Chains A and B, each alone.
Chain A
Amino acid sequence: MSADAKSLKNKINVITSNPKFMNNTKGMASSLKKLIIKLFSFVVIVGICYVILAPVIGMVVNSFMSDTDAYNPMVYLIPEHPTLEKYKLAWQRMDYLKTMGRDLLYSATLMLIQIFICSMVGYGFARFKFPFKKFLFGCVVVMIVIPSHTIMLPIYMTFKNFDPFGLATLLTGKAVNLMSTPIPMYIMTIFGCGVRSGLYIYIFNQFFRGLPKEIEEAALVDGAGIWYTYFKIMLRNAVPAVITVAVFSMVWQYNDTFYSQLFNISEDIVISKKITTLQATIANLDKILDKTVQELYLDAGIVLVMLPIVIFYIVLQKYFIEGVERSGIVG
């Protein structure tokens, strides 16, 4: 809806809801009804926001508490002796900067590959006619539907003894074991089978189908080749879809534990694996045996792990919600 139409609608609303223009008692009743609806939706929204935010707030508060605060029943929401000591130790034990740097690099490169490959495939499905197109696009949907644990065992076997066309055997004498490296994840993503790639292909396909064909025709008349048109023109017009996929792919890659466990990727690269062992590390190395205090350290660690992804989301959130609305999830 354009801004003009919106403002016109608002004006109509103002006029019709204004008691002066309506029968007085009826106007009163309708404005009361509106007030009740407004109040109701306010209560519901605030309540649900509380349900979502409460555990997060609790965790952040806990992470600032000192040992004495943890046992003081009078301390609620505001720590009496706030301290950064929990963060310091959690930071140190997770080797935070290095691990986080590696993890962000890993997730971000995968995100870029996802955007590149999935947009290409989505464009191919959206704009070209070729035999079996319907059937192949059905395969994309099948890919979305099939849970990844159905195919995990063969994939595990493949990468454990990685030997494409006998090349590895030819060069080194035996098949390569790619387990505990991030390479399998890269290979799968490059071939469009990474974490939820099917969904991204679907999003890009829907988005490109919605763009007017005239853009490409103009480019073609001006003498641009198909690949030039795609990279220089179409991809730049697809910013909303790109942002949607970027946010989804970054978040899901960062939070993914299934593939990182399957490929046994080192916990120096995937920080979310480190968080599961943080409490045990602190108990064993630092001899902090009080479970309640251990939990404070764990909370600090979780806040540290969550921080970059939340910042990433907050920065892109405005474009993201708009992007979803304009891009293809709704086709």
Chain B
Amino acid sequence: MKKRRLTLSQKRMINGYLFILPWLVGFIIFYVRSLILTTEFSFSKLTVKPTGGYDLEYVGWENFRYAFREHGTFKQILTTSIGNIVIDLPLIIFFSLFMAILLNRQFKGRTLVRAIFFLPVILNSSAIATAMELSAQMIAGGISAASQVATETTTAGVDVSYYIELFEDLAMPRTVLEYLVAAVARINNVITASGVQIVIFLAALQSIPGSMYEVAKIEGATAYETFWKVTFPMVMPHIITNVVYTVIDNFAESEVVTLSYNTTFTEFNYGLSSVFSLVSTAIICLILIIICGFIQKRTFYYN
């Protein structure tokens, strides 16, 4: 029997599938299947059999009703986690863009400074954070720990309310002031959370062709104009990358995840934990879609 020979493009097609095969199998087994199962769990009551394996009993929307109507802390934790992400997001993006521009200049010891800025990513181990937290609890314990936290948040003994009143007299809206105060109090979080973002923005700044700046200079643009007309539009596409990265990264460490983890492995309430995971993921994806759509409309693509 004569075998039909494959054309070159068909051969390449098969090779392409071979290259991505490991990932494709993993994606179907670990992601597609898991997502379907998680959805199934969230509508069921799951009991683990002593022999291994599990039984599912369909309960409809019961788990969702319990999570939103009866569970003590879920709604609160969900809103604070998401609120934190939304507050931190613009701070991190603008801070990392600003720092990337500073670090992009020529100065002595630039490599050292860049290495230091990436250090928080290297040292960001939640195990160590847990260890330190435990020891802080052991040392201070109870009420004194709470008061210590309170003094820390009011930025090292500075009387914040005095300044708030000062600016409030100038008829600045209080919500803006409170956001600013919160932003200053968060500076440590923001710095430690923006290591990767700074590196991405640095790479973006390096990829802007130098001829653009020369043109701007010849046309007599000031540094301010150059930033808004050249630098900013050129790094705009990378803002989306950074937004996605920031949201995902912050979300993975938020309290909702801890809650859902604890519900699974200390309370063994699998259905409820699936609901927590699904709801929080859906909200995060919605936020991402809204923000990215909003930025994308205003983005200028060079290529």
Contact = CB atoms under 8 A, between A and B. Distances in A.
Main secondary structure of the interface of A (DSSP, over half): helix
A274 B120 CA distance: 21
A147 B140 CA distance: 34
Interface residues of A, number: 92
A109 B77 CA distance: 37
Contact of A251 (B17, B121, B202): B121
A45 B107 CA distance: 11
A77 B20 CA distance: 54
A278 to B, nearest CB: 7
A292 B41 CA distance: 46
A314 to B, nearest CB: 7
A155 B34 contact: yes
From B31, B124, B252, name the one whose CB has the most chain A CB atoms within 10 angstroms. B31
B139 A147 contact: no
B187 A51 contact: yes
A306 B131 CA distance: 13
A302 B130 CA distance: 12
A18 B261 CA distance: 63
Contact of B203 (A161, A197, A324): A324
B123 interface: yes
A175 B52 CA distance: 8
Contact of A52 (B26, B117, B138): B117
A192 B26 contact: yes
A324 B201 CA distance: 10
Contacts of B117: 48-49, 52
Contact of B26 (A44, A133, A188, A255): A188
B35 A150 contact: yes
A288 to B, nearest CB: 12
Interface in B99-134: 99, 102-103, 105, 107, 111, 113-128, 130-132, 134
A117 interface: yes
Contacts of B107: 38, 41-42
A52 B120 contact: yes
B53 to A, nearest CB: 6
A313 interface: yes
A321 B199 contact: yes
B19 A121 contact: yes
Contact of B135 (A201, A295, A324, A329): A295
B16 A310 contact: no
Contacts, number: 245
B281 A305 contact: no
Contacts of B226: none
B52 A161 contact: yes
A302 B23 contact: no
A314 B118 CA distance: 11
A134 B264 CA distance: 36
A133 B227 CA distance: 37
A5 interface: yes
A75 B288 CA distance: 49
Nearest to B24: A136
Contact of A128 (B12, B35, B116, B270): B12
Contacts of A193: 23, 26-27, 30-31
B199 A324 contact: yes
A13 to B, nearest CB: 10
Contacts of B126: 255, 257
A91 B288 CA distance: 45
Interface in A137-165: 139-140, 142-157, 160-161
5 contacts: A48-B191, A53-B116, A193-B30, A272-B125, A313-B115
Interface of A: 1, 5, 9, 38, 41-42, 44-45, 48-49, 51-53, 56, 117-118, 120-121, 123-125, 127-131, 133, 136, 139-140, 142-157, 160-161, 174-175, 177, 188, 190-193, 197, 201, 226, 230, 251, 254-255, 257-258, 261, 272-273, 275-276, 278-279, 291-292, 294-295, 298, 301-302, 305-306, 309-310, 313-314, 317-318, 321, 324-325, 329-330
Given A117-B23, A128-B15, 19 more contacts: A48-B191, A52-B120, A53-B116, A53-B119, A147-B248, A147-B251, A147-B281, A147-B284, A150-B35, A150-B281, A151-B30, A153-B270, A154-B34, A190-B22, A191-B25, A201-B23, A279-B134, A291-B135, A317-B111
* The 4 nearest A-B residue pairs measured at CB: A191-B26, A128-B16, A124-B19, A192-B23
